[in-house]
Every structure is written in structure tokens, then in C-alpha cells.
Amino acid sequence: MGSTWGNHLKISIFGESHGEGIGIVIDGFPAGFECDMELIRRELSRRAPGQSGLATGRREEDEPVILSGLLNSATTGAPIAIMIKNLDTRSKDYEQLRSIPRPGHSDYTGQVRYRGYNDIRGGGHFSGRLTAPLTFVGALCKNFLKKHHNIEIGSHIYRIGEVFDSPFDLTLTDRELLAQLQMKEIPVLDEKTAEEIKETVINVKSDLDSIGGVIECAVVGAEPGIGSPMFHNVESRIASMLYSVPAVKGVEFGLGFALAGTRGSKANDCYTLKDGSVRTKTNYNGGIAGGITTGMPIVVRAVFKPTPSIGREQKTLNLVTGKEENLWIRGRHDPCIALRAPAVVEASVAIVMMDLYLEAYGYDAK
């Protein structure tokens, strides 16, 4: 199972949606870091469903129990282990899924891969719930990167269905803007978009359906020269982490897929001196060239598919009878995963940046 990740910051995630709990072990985090537990709790609650009616009705308080590696809020250098208890489970909602797997979910592939031994309740280890421990680590990394390297990582909902927010200015330097977005219930740049998004999600939910979206994330303050070409390149590291998040089906940097319709004379980011530092006038490459940071903001977009579990009737295969039949999915599901995703995307990017900064700075290395 591929539940371990990282070169210098090594994380190992565990748990199932309806088991005792979920959690993560973090190896390699520098000793002596006074972490802001309030900030970590805030990030976890940004990801949690909340009471808005726009997310699953499942109550997820996501209070992390620290098992090791933190003493009086400071990291000890030992592996940090945390666990989050699963409190509000209704496992009987999932009984039929072994024979009639949900389209778009992991019920069929998980059973084939693990010979039927996988825990199917609530999606088991494939559940979006596993992004809670990921958000914990990401918040810790965000906290460290801000304090030690003045790096701010923030995001907004760029798109839900056919509702679009304004995109980030690819050359943005405004750390305050990124910090403010993290305080919003629906983080968007144009306030009117928030209402349109709410309306769209409410409509989709009342249609017993779900909808996709795009989260745009920016890293401001990353210095030039971080990363490597080929397999440890910054794009491939960030993409590998983002694609590890359940329901992510696309990742692009800078102008991304729009580069296909762009001429080199427009897409090249020309160098200039700004306040004595080398910068680029534009940032169509999203802050990365040759797999290495340019010193411009890293701008990345992640596409979240519509939630696979929908309330509508779907015709699909019964694996026991070999016949197609109607499936009505029970359980409490998110009508729009992307709404809960900004904190998860920021966390994913922060974990990668932390791994790269540990490589560059060799904290605690002997």
C-alpha cells in the first residue's frame, strides 16, 4: 500500500473512515519548533464539514490526539504521531456496496486489489476523511515555513461548475491577501462569486447530485533555486501529493493547459531586476523552471471531480448476480468536495515545500 511519502519529511498515514480513528506519523520534522496549535485547529476546522448545509451532515470534530513528538507544543525531534477519533459513523449505510460497487468510487477497485479484505465502510482507507491528518501535517509545515522562511501559502475556489472566480494574478506578492482568504468560509477573490457558488451547490444537492470544482493555490516567498530536475522536480513533487488527495483528477501550473494555445513569445517569462533581486516580468510558468523554483509565486490548480456518491438512482452492475440494477446510495455525502478542499490543497503544497526546504537547509542533519 502506498501510504508513506517523502524524502526528508517522511509521512505515513493510517486509518479507515469507520474504524477507531485516522492518523499520521511524521518523521524528520526539525526539533525545537514551537507550533501554534490554534492555527492547526483552525486549518482542521476549515476542512471539516461544518454546519453550513453545503457539506456532508456527518459531524467531524477532528480533534487531534498527540501521541508523540510534541512536548508543551514544541517538537522534540522524535516522530510526531497523531490520531483523530472517528465519532459519527453509520456503517450499515455501506453494506450493499460489496455487491453493487458505487460508480466513481473505490469499492470495486479496492475489493479487486485487496481480495475483498478492504474495509469498505465509509470508503475505508480511500475516504476523503484521510485528508484530515494530511491537513494536520500541512498546517504544521505552513506554520514552520511562515515563521522561518516568510512563506505564505493560500488558495481560493477558482471554479465550481460553471461559476468562475477571478484567477490569481500570477505575479502576486500579496501575502496578506492569501492570509485573508484562509479566514473566509467560501474563499473567493470576487465576493459575488461566493453567493453564486452557494446557490449552485444548494441546487445540485436538491437535485440529489454533486458538482466538481477547481482550487487555485499560491505560494508567495519561496526562494529561487529550490528543487531539482527530473524526478524530484517541484512540479512532479507537488503533483504527486495533490494526486494523492482523493477526487483530484487534474493539476496544472501557471498558465497550465492554456499554454497549448500560447506562443513562446508570450509564454516566456523574461528576467528583470526588482529591488535588487532577479525576478520575471510575467509568471506563466507558475514559479518553476527546469523543476526548480524561480523565486516567483508558485501557482498551481487542482481539479476535484464531483462527489461520486450521489443520491440519484444509477444503473450499475451487481457483481453477485452479474446483472445491471438500480443503485440508491445511502449515507451522508458532500455535494461538492471542492468546497472543503482549499485547506487540503494548501496542506498538500506545504508538505512538499517543507520536504524541499529540509533538503535545501538540512535542519537537524548530522
How far apart are CB 154 and ligand FMN at their closest, in Å?
18
How far apart are CB 84 and ligand FMN at their closest, in Å?
14
Query: Strands (DSSP E) along 61-106, which ranges?
Result: 64-68, 70-71, 74-75, 80-85
Kindly tell me which of 175 and 332 has the beta carbon lying closer to ligand FMN.
332
Q: Which span sits near ligand FMN by CB under 6 A: 166-174, 220-228, 276-284, 307-315?
A: 307-315
Q: Judged by CB under 6 A, which of 18, 105, 121, 125 binds ligand FMN?
A: 105
How far apart are CB 150 and ligand FMN at their closest, in Å?
29
Degrees to nearest 5, angle at CA 78 with 76 and 82: 95
Query: Does residue 126 bind ligand FMN (CB under 6 A)?
Result: yes
Question: How far apart (Å, rounded) are the C-alpha atoms in residues 232 and 31?
Answer: 25
Report phi then psi at 83, rounded to 5. Answer: -135, 140
Long-range pairs of 182-187 with CB within 8 A, sequence gap ≥ 24: 182/42, 182/46, 182/154, 182/342, 182/343, 182/346, 185/50, 185/52, 186/157, 186/339, 187/154, 187/155, 187/156, 187/157, 187/342
Question: How far apart (Å, rounded) are the C-alpha atoms in residues 22 and 129?
Answer: 8
| Residue 110 cell numbers, joined | 479496492
Query: Does residue 308 bind ligand FMN (CB under 6 A)?
Result: yes
Query: Does residue 123 bind ligand FMN (CB under 6 A)?
Result: yes
Query: Does residue 118 bind ligand FMN (CB under 6 A)?
Result: no
Q: Which span sits near ligand FMN by CB under 6 A: 139-147, 220-228, 269-277, 300-308?
A: 300-308
Please state, in angstroms and as integers, the Cα–Cα distance from residue 44 to each residue in 37, 64, 129, 320, 329, following that order.
11, 9, 11, 40, 27
Query: Does residue 136 bind ligand FMN (CB under 6 A)?
Result: no
Question: How far apart (Å, rounded) are the C-alpha atoms in residues 102 and 329?
Answer: 8
> Residues 39-58 vs ligand FMN: string with x where CB under 6 A?
-----------------x--
Query: Does residue 286 bind ligand FMN (CB under 6 A)?
Result: no
Q: Judged by CB under 6 A, which of 118, 143, 182, 309 binds ligand FMN?
A: 309
Degrees to nearest 5, angle at CA 131 with 138 and 222: 25
29: DSSP letter = P
Q: Which span sits near ligand FMN by CB under 6 A: 33-41, 140-148, 176-184, 336-344?
A: 336-344
Considering only residues 182 through 241, tell me which ones interact with ligand FMN, judged by CB under 6 A. Answer: none
How many residues bind ligand FMN (CB under 6 A)? The answer is: 20
Q: Judged by CB under 6 A, which of 15, 128, 138, 221 binds ligand FMN?
A: 128
The helix/strand/coil state of 170 is: coil
Q: Which span sits near ligand FMN by CB under 6 A: 21-29, 127-135, 219-227, 315-323?
A: 127-135
Question: How far apart (Å, rounded) are the C-alpha atoms in residues 76 and 89?
Answer: 34
Kindly tell me which of 21 and 123 has the beta carbon lying closer to ligand FMN.
123
Query: Does residue 135 bind ligand FMN (CB under 6 A)?
Result: no
Q: Which residues bind ligand FMN (CB under 6 A)?
A: 56, 105-106, 123, 126-128, 131, 245-247, 305, 307-309, 333-334, 337, 340, 344
